[in-house]
Amino acid sequence: MEQITKPHCGARLDRLPDCRWHSSMFAVVAFGLLVCWSNAVGGLILAQLKELGWTDNSTTATFSAITTAGMFLGALVGGIIGDKTGRRNAFILYEAIHIASMIVGAFSPNMMFLIACRFVMGVGLGALLVTLFAGFTEYMPGRNRGTWSSRVSFIGNWSYPLCSLIAMGLTPLISAEWNWRVQLLIPAVLSLIATALAWRYFPESPRWLESRGRYQEAEKVMQAIEAGIERQTGKPLPPVVIESSGKPPRSVPYSALFTGVLLKRVILGSCVLIAMNVVQYTLINWLPTIFMTQGINLKDSIVLNTMSMFGAPFGIFIAMLVMDKIPRKTMGVGLLILIAVLGYIYSLQTSMLLITLIGFFPDYLCLYVCLLCLGGLCAGDLANRSETSRFRPGERCRQNQRYRCPLCCGGITQRLWRDGRFRPAGRCLDYRRRRNSDYRNRDQGCFG
C-alpha cells in the first residue's frame, strides 16, 4: 500500500505570497460577518415592538437576556462541533440555523414566540462567530494573520451603523408592524448570499484535515490553492521551510486555564470582557427604547442610535493605529476613566445634538479603542505559555470557544436592568465584534 506522507499544510500556507486568493477568502468571511446582524438589530426591533405594545421593560430584558443565553450555548458547543465536522461544514451549518431562525422569527405571531426564535438565533450566531474567526486564521499566513484579522473586524463592525441606516430609511416607508419583520428578513437574505459564497469559495481548512490525519484530502486542497496562486501571480512559489521543534505540541485541557499563573489572567480577562459585554448589550438592546421612554419619537430614536453606532468601526480603525504606540495598560485604564466621565455626562443630556456627539465618543469610539487595548493585553498574557503546550490547529474552534463563553455571560446579566433607566454603572457602552479582534490577535499569538 502506498505510504501517505504528511503534507505540512501549515508551512506551505505560511510561505504563500499575499494575492487575490487571500483577498477572496477575506471577502467571504468579512461579508458573512457583516451581514449576520441579528444581534445588532435587536434594540431597533424592540423600539418598534414597544410602539406596537408588544413589550414592556421586563419583556425587553427577557428578550435581550435570552439572546445572549443562546450565544453562550452556541459558543460553548459551536467550537466542539467545528473541530469535529470541519470549518466549512460548521460555517454552513451555523449559517443555516441562523438564517432559518431569522426567517421564522420575522413571522412571529406574538412576543413569546419571537423570544424563542431569538434564543435559536443566539445559538447560531454564537457558534458561527467562533467557527468563522477560528477557520479564517487557519488560511492566513502567520506573518500577517493579525493584519488580516483586524481587517475582518473592521468590516464586521460596520454592521452596526449599516443596519441602523437601513432601519432609519425604512421607518417612514413601512409601518411599525412590518418594519421589524423586514429588519429580520434583510439579514436573512444577505446571509443566504454569504452561505452561497462560502459553499462556492470557502474550501475545507487543510490544516484541519491534516490534524485529523486526512492527508490525501489536505494535499488535494493544498495543490488546488497553490496552483491557483501560481496562476494569479505568474511566479513559482517559494520553497517550503519546515521548522523542526524539539517537542511536539500537546493539547491543553480546560483545567489549564484555572491553575497557576493563568488563573489570575483568566479572572482579569473574564472580568474585563464580561463588563464590556454588559455594556454592549445594554446599549444595543436598550438605547432606542430608552430614548422613546424619555419622550423622543421612534424616528428620532433610530436616528440618534444610528449616529452613535458609527463609533464602532471608527473605534476599531483608531485602535489599529495607536495600539502598538501607547502602552495598552495605560491607554486602557485612561480610556475607562474617560468613558465613565463622559457616560455620566451623556446620561444628563436632553439635546439631540449633544446626545449624538457625546454618545458617539464614550459609547462606541472610546470603548472600542479601550477594548482592543485591554483585550490585547489579556490576550498577550494568555498566549505567553510554553511552546510545548500550544493549542493544536485542529482545536482552534475550541480555543476560540473558551474565550468567547465568558463574553456571553455578560449579556445575560443585563436582565438586572429591568426598569430600563440610565444608570452611571449601567450606562453601558458597546462591545461585541471588537472582541473578535482580541481573539484574532490571540490566534496569532498561539498559532502564528
Q: With respect to residue 1, please indicate whether it lies within any of the assigned structural domains.
A: no
- Residue-range definition of the domain harbouring residue 380: 9-238+253-447
Q: What is the pLDDT of residues 85-110, one digit of tens each?
A: 888 999 999 999 999 999 999 999 99
Q: With respect to residue 243, please indicate whether it lies within any of the assigned structural domains.
A: no
Structure confidence at residue 338 (pLDDT): 76
Sorted by sequence, the CB contacts under 8 Å of residue 118 that are 6+ apart come out as 42, 63, 66, 67, 70, 101, 105
Q: Determine the Cα–Cα distance for residues 170 and 41; give it in Å rounded to an integer.
A: 13
- 86 backbone φψ class: left, alpha, beta (φ>0; ψ -120 to 50): left
- The residue among 406, 325, 336 whose CA lies nearest residue 366 is 336
Q: With respect to residue 247, please indicate whether it lies within any of the assigned structural domains.
A: no
Structure confidence at residue 252 (pLDDT): 67
Helices 366-383, 311-322: axis angle to 10 degrees equals 50
CATH number of the domain within which 40 lies: 1.20.1250.20
Structure confidence at residue 97 (pLDDT): 95
pTM for the whole thing?
0.73
Q: Hey, what amino acid is at 233?
A: T
More confident residue, 276 or 250: 276
Q: Which range is least confidently modeled, 1-5, 152-156, 294-298, 390-394?
A: 390-394
What's the per-residue H, E or C state across 429-448?
Answer: CCCCCHHHHHHHHHHHHHHC
Q: Which range is least confidently modeled, 53-57, 172-176, 391-395?
A: 391-395
Q: What's the first-to-final CA gap in the chain, in angstroms?
A: 35
Helices 328-347, 352-360: axis angle to 10 degrees equals 170
Average pLDDT over residues 391-402: 48
Structure confidence at residue 138 (pLDDT): 87
Helices 328-347, 366-383: axis angle to 10 degrees equals 150
**Quick check: 3 pLDDT over 70?**
no
- What is the total count of domains within the chain? 1
- The residue among 49, 122, 58 whose CA lies nearest residue 416 is 58
Q: Cell for 299?
A: 424616528
Q: With respect to residue 3, please indicate whether it lies within any of the assigned structural domains.
A: no
Confidence of residue 415 (pLDDT cuts 50, 70, 90): very low
Average pLDDT over residues 14-33: 90
